[in-house]
Structure 1
């Protein structure tokens, strides 16, 4: 086949290239931060992280720069890298925005409900309750994120979903420390929410979601106020990174 013949054909799909190592290290470290393995204020030694992940120090250094750009890590010349310790103001602002977005998503999900969508929510809720009974916090937090993401998806509003995606991982980060305290009550609230969505009661669904997200917000802020938070050096201004899938 000649080159001219090839040019006339539809463009072939590009061969997928391997993800740069720094991106894989970024995702691995981010997950350790979100699930609490690397706690706020923790000093992040490049040599220790490199040994932990089985890589050289260069991709660790590059990943820390990426994490700093997104606000997960604070870099201080002469002192090193530290997991960012969120302030009460940061948490309050983000969780307040989350409450507004998810309240509207719940209302829209009730109006746009489908049998298949409700079934998906009930299945997730059942799995979440099982995780709570097994005291599997990591699984419960992950399923919680999936359930909230599903409500957002069922809302049918892609703009709303895009906005929610910008705060998704940080919401999960804030939710993880209080997940055990919220326990079964959180999933009972989920059950009531799903019932309202299934009934097409938009006002009730919005009210339940608002109260549900506010419970997490207040519990996290109360816990943050009671703890003696680490005192990292002042952080620099951070730039934004591409959004991630929503949950929390």
Structure 2
């Protein structure tokens, strides 16, 4: 049993071509986003390097970058640990995300065509099936894809860029409550699709705000339990 806590064979060895430092960073970030590496977990350079099939140097560089970005805490004489989010951090992030999502929904409702609505419905059906199959990882990934599609349909590159900067952190907070939110989240998504199809920007904005608040409240209930 290793302190990095990754099951044998769960992480594929990284292929050598390409910028190795960046690939190590992306792999560790994805493992933290999905909570395969859990908040508060000790990250041992040598063990992570062994799992990834690389030397310790790119792992050390990746951990330093992740520390700068707030994903990892480097503690003197103790080492690296996955950051444990505070209530205040969750509140701030989800509040910003709500503003971005609400504006995206309003813009999407103003200019979405039938193809866009059909794309949202297809993603929604995939998410509903993931919930039915109790596939939490797929449900979270599909939820992210749904919101990304709404951003795309909004047609505002700056807005999409800002949303992309916080997307992984939103997934980080979303993962532990995905099962509790369950099908209710996708019912809310269906309501949003209907509002966008009806070109009702005000209604779409209201639905997004309610949707994000429900996720926010569920996260806090989970965090306090």
* Normalised TM-score (structure 1): 0.82
1:219 aligns with 2:218: yes
Whole-angstrom distance in 2 between the partners of 1:110 and 1:20: 40
Task: Report if the CA contact (8 A) 1:92-1:221 is conserved.
Answer: no
Whole-angstrom distance in 2 between the partners of 1:93 and 1:220: 13
- 1:153-184 deviations in Å (ceiling 9; x for gaps): 11112222122122111011110110111000
Higher helix share: 2
- 1:105-160 deviations in Å (ceiling 9; x for gaps): 11111111111111110000001111111111111111110110110111112222
Count of residue correspondences? 209
Q: How far did 1:222 drift?
A: 2.2
Task: Report if the CA contact (8 A) 1:88-1:225 is conserved.
Answer: no
SS in 2 for 1:74: strand
For 2:7, the equivalent position in structure 1 comes to none
Whole-angstrom distance in 2 between the partners of 1:52 and 1:111: 48
For 1:121, the equivalent position in structure 2 comes to 120
Whole-angstrom distance in 1 between the partners of 2:151 and 2:88: 25
For 1:171, the equivalent position in structure 2 comes to 170
Whole-angstrom distance in 2 between the partners of 1:205 and 1:28: 35
Q: Map of 1:97-136 to 2, 5 A cutoff?
A: 97-136=96-135
Q: How far did 1:77 drift?
A: 2.2
Higher relative contact order (CA 8 A, sep 6+): 1
Larger Rg: 1
Whole-angstrom distance in 2 between the partners of 1:25 and 1:157: 31
Q: Which runs of 4+ in 1 moved over 4 A?
A: none
For 2:150, the equivalent position in structure 1 comes to 151
Whole-angstrom distance in 1 between the partners of 2:102 and 2:111: 14
Q: Map of 1:200-239 to 2, 5 A cutoff?
A: 200-226=199-225
Task: Report if the CA contact (8 A) 1:108-1:155 is conserved.
Answer: yes
Whole-angstrom distance in 1 between the partners of 2:96 and 2:127: 24
Any gaps of 5 or more consecutive residues in structure 2?
1-16
Whole-angstrom distance in 2 between the partners of 1:95 and 1:160: 16
Any gaps of 5 or more consecutive residues in structure 1?
1-17, 227-248
* Normalised TM-score (structure 2): 0.90
Q: How far did 1:197 drift?
A: 0.5
- 1:200-222 deviations in Å (ceiling 9; x for gaps): 11111111111001111111122
